[in-house]
Amino acid sequence: MSVAKQEREELRATHEAAFERWKTEVLAHDAAERRRVDTALRWFPVHLASRPRRVDVYGGTADGWAALLVTLGASLLANGKGLWLLDFSHQTVGRELAALADTRGVPVVRVELPSASAPPDLSWGLSPEELAEVLAEALSTLRPDGADVDLRATDASLLHSVLERLDGAVTFGRIASGLEVLLRVHEPDRAPEPLSARELDSLTTAIDVVGQSERIQNELRFVYDVMRLLARAQHNPLTLPAPDQWLAPGQLTILSTHDVTERRKDVIDRVVFFLILHQLRRGRVPADAGTLVIAGAEHLGRSALEAMARQARVAGVRLMLLMTHVREDIRPLLGGQDSATVLMRLGNAEEAKAAAEFIGHGHKFVINQLTRQVGESHSRGRSHSYGGGDSETGGWSTSWQNSVDSSTTDSETRGETVSRVYEFTVEPTQIQSLPPTGLILIETSPQSRRVVFGDCNPAITLLPHVADAPRLPE
What's the CA angle centered on 465, arms 464 and 469, to 5 degrees?
A: 130
323 pLDDT higher than 90: yes
Spell out the residues 6+ positions from residue 311 whose beta carbon is closer than 8 angstroms to its own.
277, 280, 281
pLDDT of residue 280: 86
Q: Residue 67: its pLDDT value, please?
A: 95
Backbone angles phi, psi at 368, to 5 degrees: -115, 0
Pick the range with the lowest mean pLDDT from 78-92, 136-150, 333-347, 375-389: 375-389
Amino acid identity of residue 203, one-letter, is L
Burial of 86 (0-12, 13-18, 19+ CB in 10 A): buried
C-alpha 186/C-alpha 76 separation (Å) is: 51
pLDDT (mean) for 396-415: 77
CB 162 within 8 A of CB 203: yes
Mean pLDDT over all residues of the chain? 85
Contacts (Cβ under 8 Å, ≥6 apart) of 394: none
CA–CA gap between residue 106 and residue 202 (Å, rounded)? 48
Instruction: Give me the mean pLDDT over the 39-61 stretch.
Output: 88
The neighbour count for residue 62, using CB atoms within 10 Å, is: 16
Q: When comparing pLDDT for 307 and 148, which is higher?
A: 307
Main-chain dihedrals φ then ψ at residue 107, nearest 5 degrees: -60, 130
- State pLDDT tens for residues 444-461: 877 778 889 999 999 998
Residues 6 or more apart in contact with residue 345 via CB below 8 angstroms: 59, 60, 61, 64, 431, 432, 433, 434, 435, 436, 438
Question: For residue 28, what pLDDT is reported?
Answer: 93
pLDDT bracket for residue 243 (50, 70, 90): low
Q: CA 457 → CA 58, 443, 462, distances in Å?
A: 17, 21, 10
Q: Using one digit for the tens of pLDDT, what is the confidence trace for 245-257?
A: 666 778 899 988 8
| CA 317 to mean position of chain CA atoms | 19
Residue, of 205 and 238, whose pLDDT is higher: 205
Distance CA 80, CA 309 (A): 23
Q: Which of 7-11, 264-268, 408-412 has the highest mean pLDDT?
A: 264-268
- Give the Cα separation of 84 and 273 in Å (integer): 13
pLDDT reported for residue 258: 85
pLDDT of residue 48: 85
**Is residue 320 a contact partner of residue 308, using CB atoms and an 8 Å limit?**
no
Q: Is residue 465 left, alpha or beta, with left meaning phi > 0 and alpha meaning psi from -120 to 50?
A: left
What pLDDT digit, counting tens, does each position of 99-122 carry?
Answer: 999 998 999 988 887 755 455 567
Write out pLDDT tens, residues 303-313.
899 999 999 99
Q: Name the range with the highest mean pLDDT among 11-20, 235-244, 446-455.
A: 11-20
Give the chain as a 3 state SS string.
CCHHHHHHHHHHHHHHHHHHHHHHHHHHHHHHHHHHHHHCCCECCCCCCCCCCEEEEECCCHHHHHHHHHHHHHHHHHCCCEEEEEECCCCCCCHHHHHHHHHCCCCEEEEEECCCCCCCCCCCCCCHHHHHHHHHHHHHCCCCCCCCCHHHHHHHHHHHHHHCCCCCCCCHHHHHHHHHHHHCCCCCCCCCCCCCHHHHHHHHHCHHHHCCCHHHHHHHHHHHHHHHHHHCCCCCCCCCCCHHHCCCCCCEEEEEECCCCHHHHHHHHHHHHHHHHHHHHCCCCCCCCEEEEEECCHHHCHHHHHHHHHHHHHHCCEEEEEECCCCCCCHHHCCCCCEEEEECCCCCHHHHHHHHHHHCEEEEEEEEEEEEEEEEEEEEEEEEEEEEEECCCCCEEEEEEEEEEEEEEEEEEEEEEEEEEEEECCCHHHHHCCCCCEEEEEEECCCCEEEEEEECCHHHHHCCCECCCCCCCC
pTM of the model: 0.79
Per-residue confidence (pLDDT) for residue 236, from 0 to 100? 45
Contact 423, 406 (CB under 8 A): no
> Is the sign of the CA dihedral 51, 290, 312, 151 positive or negative?
positive
- Determine what percent of the chain is predicted with pLDDT higher than 90: 35
144 pLDDT tier (thresholds 50, 70, 90): confident
In this prediction, residue 20 carries a pLDDT of 92
- Do residues 344 and 60 lie in contact, with contact meaning Cβ atoms separated by under 8 Å? yes
